[in-house]
Amino acid sequence: MPDIQLYDCDTHFTDHLPELWAEIGFSPAEAPEVVTDAGATRLRLGDRLFPRPSGQGHGNPKGLGHLIGPGEDEDRAVFMTKHNIAAAVLQPGFVGLSVQAVEDAETRLRLLDGYNQLASRSCARSALSLKWAFLASVEDPGWSEETLRQYADDENLVGVVVRPTARTAAARLNSPETSPLLETAARLRLPLFVHGGTGCYQWSPLADAFADYAMTHAFGHMGEHMIAMADLVTRPDGLPDDLRVVMLESGIAWIPSVLGRLTSHTRRLADNATSPTDIFRKHFAAVPDPDEEHVGWAIRQLGVETVLFGSDYPHWDTVEAGVWLTEFSGFCPSGQLTANTSRFIPRLVNESA
């Protein structure tokens, strides 16, 4: 067990179990369906299978079968104890990462509402220190802001999570329509988590150029986060002063160079008073992966104040805390890591103390 107590900002809710949806009144016809297709278990929403089984931008060939544990309290307790995790944030599972690809607005909003009910209930019922992030939709910003306010007093709510990109390029994080959502999140001291996922039929122009899973996985997360980061650091009306943004599973080695290029080009061509690099350093945190090359250089460029820990449990690429600490504690010692978490996700640290 690591000596350092960790706060895990990226663990995943097992949200695809049919019995969960039945508990909140979804009929079998309404609820997400788990099916077997070509030997792999997948999620069915409408007439689509998730993760996308094949073709451009397809997802994990193992479908839903790439989990290393069921994601219930029993296995989470073992994992959290082994890695000395004081508290963990439930991020969307297969349903939450896929639902925004549903084209019918009424169906999409009902699923989004159901997801948030389930995440809230799961944390309230858990014997563990589990917190959750409200699932918002950039395609439905008005509904998202109004519904978020209804959960303002939920003691286990610690953030808001969005996909980096929406179903199409028409809905963006730089849109003025998202301003009320960002302002409400900031007022409630809730960070904006940005989390992608491969094979979910989102607008993902880099990933959709490939039909090889290694390439769609590499370019899906990174490419979508490039778009989201650029949208947020160049918003015409800026970001709310107190808003914090946490990029999850984005990789970080690419961030300094892309920020530098954005800063160079906006200064020369857009007369931007505050540089994207300065905006990032004020508002953003990232979660480094010990397997990523050049990550130490990126941390030095971005600053240790931007570093947070996330395990990605129970996904196949779950990060071992000991490996993470071996790689990063020299850059970001325990006191700095806790201070970073308190700054970016204050409810996670304060409510768990």
State how far the Cα of 9 lies from the Cα of 304, in Å rounded to an integer.
Answer: 17
The region of weakest confidence among 90-99, 124-133, 259-268, 342-351 is 259-268
At 2 the pLDDT is 73
Q: Express each pLDDT in 257-310 by its tens digit.
A: 999 999 888 777 666 678 899 999 999 999 999 999 999 999 999 999 999 999
Q: Picking from 67-71, 92-96, 179-183, 238-242, which range would have the lowest pLDDT averaged per residue?
A: 67-71
pLDDT in tens, 83-104: 999 999 999 999 999 999 999 9
Residue 70 reports pLDDT greater than 80: yes
Q: Are 219 and 210 in contact (CB under 8 A)?
A: yes
pLDDT at 4 (0 to 100) = 83
Report the percentage of the chain scoring pLDDT > 70.
97
* pLDDT at res. 168: 94
> Quick one: pLDDT at residue 1?
67
From residue 278, how far is each of 67, 283, 345 by CA, in Å? 38, 9, 20
Mean confidence (pLDDT) of the chain: 94
What is the model's pLDDT at position 350?
76
Query: Which string of DSSP letters, residue by residue, matches 270-289?
Result: T--SS-HHHHHHHHEEE---
pLDDT of residue 351: 66
Binned at pLDDT 50, 70 and 90, residue 161 comes out as very high
